[in-house]
């Protein structure tokens, strides 16, 4: 009985410790994805405080997802934000879905900050935040 219990325990440990590489998909490419909309809760905030700015983008399949932002300080008070998506090589549901992501904004000086979020082509969504 002890041998059977020991064998079952060893078999269970070996099964759970196996690495199944089929669950992971390789990122094939990175590309821009337009930002459909932007949500800023407070258009006025205090210097050195933190505010989350949410962006929403639409993906054409579950082989795509949010990769990151290109967040550029154009000058002291201007920012441009471009979102990027990853594209994987695995089997995917070809279902369109929207995803929300966020940037944490923590201004270091007072003034009116202008944000431009890439909306495709030469289009930008412009938002301002007054920092007091």
Name the one residue in this structure whose structure tokens are 């030469």. Answer: 122
pLDDT, tens digit, 9 for 90 and up, residues 25-57: 788 999 999 999 999 999 999 999 999 999 999
pLDDT, tens digit, 9 for 90 and up, residues 66-112: 999 999 999 889 999 999 999 998 888 889 999 999 999 999 999 99
Among residues 37, 41, 43, 14, which one has the least CA distance to residue 117? 37
CATH class of 27-131: mainly beta
| pLDDT score, position 1 | 46
List the domain boundaries for the chain: 27-131
| pLDDT score, position 92 | 84
pTM: 0.79
| pLDDT score, position 23 | 58
Cα 57 to Cα 34: distance, rounded to the nearest angstrom:
6
């Amino acid at each position: 009985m002890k041998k059977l219990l020991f064998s079952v325990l060893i078999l269970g440990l070996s099964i759970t410790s196996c690495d199944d590489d089929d669950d992971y998909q390789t990122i094939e490419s990175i590309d821009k994805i337009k930002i459909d909309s932007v949500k800023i809760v407070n258009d006025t905030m205090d210097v050195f405080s933190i505010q989350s700015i949410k962006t929403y983008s639409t993906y054409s399949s579950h082989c795509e997802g949010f990769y990151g932002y290109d967040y550029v300080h154009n000058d002291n008070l201007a920012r441009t934000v471009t979102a990027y998506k990853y594209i994987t090589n695995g089997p995917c549901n070809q279902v369109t879905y929207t995803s929300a992501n966020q940037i944490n904004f923590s201004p270091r000086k007072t003034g009116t900050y202008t944000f431009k979020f890439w909306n495709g082509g030469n289009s930008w969504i412009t938002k301002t935040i007054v920092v007091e």
